[in-house]
Amino acid sequence: MKRKQKRIAARPQNADAKPDLSRETNPRVLQDWVHSAHRLGRDDILHEAVGQLCRCEAPGIEDPLERAFTAMLLALEQGLMDDAAARRRVVRIRMKLERDGAERVLADLAAKANASDPFLKMHGYGLIEHAPEALVLAHAERFDGAVVEAARQRMEEYGIDAAQFG
């Protein structure tokens, strides 16, 4: 009787090769890529995996701000898998989203006196474009001038050029 051989995925010759994640639609596989890229310090793969995960998880969201906010939450959840307390804070953000909407949640996070957990986590992961302040600056026309200015100041406080977002 013949034994069935397992198919082993071919390894790229270059271990530093960047995978093409544009066709991947399985959220579990993309989550694995996010964790591996973060662990290995591969920001290029991390950005692509988070972006593709967001496209898979929220395909029906029409509003660009809502889509960007969903991307921020997904990136946060992926980055906080090992931190139970921080995951609870993300759950609170989701509850506030349902109650108040994305604009209000982003405005509140950006206008805080101190940097919010989402800002600090996105900054730490090199995903600053998903930080609440970046989203406020990118969609400045939808926010009060004081909120936009607070977001700009927070970015400058952390040495980030706010002009790249708006």
What is the per-residue pLDDT for 159? 96
In this predicted structure, the answer to whether residue 166 has a pLDDT above a threshold of 60 is yes
Task: Tell me the pLDDT tens digit for each residue of 39-77.
Answer: 888 888 888 888 788 778 777 788 889 888 888 888 787
How many whole angstroms separate alpha carbon 86 and alpha carbon 4? Answer: 45
Distances (CA, A) of 126 to 25, 40, 79: 23, 13, 11
Neighbours of 81 (CB within 10 A): 13
What is the per-residue pLDDT for 56? 81
Burial of 105 (0-12, 13-18, 19+ CB in 10 A): buried
Residue 76 structure tokens: 């946060």
In this predicted structure, the answer to whether residue 38 has a pLDDT above a threshold of 70 is yes
Contacts of 137 (CB under 8 A, 6+ apart): 148, 151, 152, 155, 162, 165, 166
Indicate the pLDDT class of residue 8, thresholds 50, 70 and 90.
Answer: very low
Task: Tell me the pLDDT tens digit for each residue of 93-147.
Answer: 889 999 999 999 999 999 999 999 899 988 987 889 889 999 999 999 999 999 9
- Region for residue 101 given its phi and psi (left: phi exceeds 0; alpha: psi -120 to 50; beta: otherwise): left
